[in-house]
Amino acid sequence: MSTLVIYFSFNGNTKYLADTIADTISADSIELKTSKQYPTEGLKKFLWGGKSVLFGEEPALLNAPMDVNKYETIIIGTPVWAGSFAPPVKSFLSQYNLHGKRIALFASHGGGGAEKCFAKLKKAIPDNEFIGEIAFVDPKKNPKDNSAKVIAWAKSLSN
Ligand SMILES: Cc1cc2nc3c(=O)[nH]c(=O)nc-3n(C[C@H](O)[C@H](O)[C@H](O)COP(=O)(O)O)c2cc1C
């Protein structure tokens, strides 16, 4: 069964989860990259990123074209931005019409909004089977506590 982990990460937390999941189940993994540069420091990053979500932006992806058809399972990861998923994930979902897939969702957040984020993701790609979802609070800060949890979750997806 072929599985793709696809994710965006701004500060490395979602990437930490994605790397752990892909290693655990030997999945292919692709990090979404954009030409749009968000400010990386201080309040500016929240203002620009939040505005980008609210305006429904779909920043251009720098990734090479992907063959999503070859994957039965797609595991999508995002940081929670303004109670939603990050704009590069929106770009991916618009560009690749996912249907008939097994989909799992994971997110990293600062303390709230993951449920809303998952609900919006599911609404964006309705014609799929959702097999799991999990959220972590800034997991990179605490890898010891989080790695067992994310590994167990990744393994549960193939059951
Ligand atoms: C633009 C922006 C908006 C954010 N909005 C939220 C939010 O609504 N709720 C929340 O809990 N965390 C929010 N955060 C914090 C991130 O979700 C959190 O730090 C996450 O772990 C970052 O993942 P990353 O390191 O993969 O980028 C926001 C961060 C940014 C930059």
Q: What whole-number percentage of the chain has pLDDT above 70?
A: 99
Ligand 1 atom, smallest distance to 14 CA = 26
The three-point CA angle 11-16-20 to 5° equals: 165
28-83 tens-digit pLDDT: 999 999 987 888 888 888 888 999 999 999 999 999 999 999 999 999 999 999 99
Domains recognised in the chain with CATH numbers? 3-156 (3.40.50.360)
**pTM of the complete model beyond 0.85:** yes
Cβ < 6 Å from ligand 1: which residues? 9-15, 45-46, 49-50, 79-83, 108-113, 138
Helices 143-156, 13-25: crossing angle, 10 deg rounding: 50
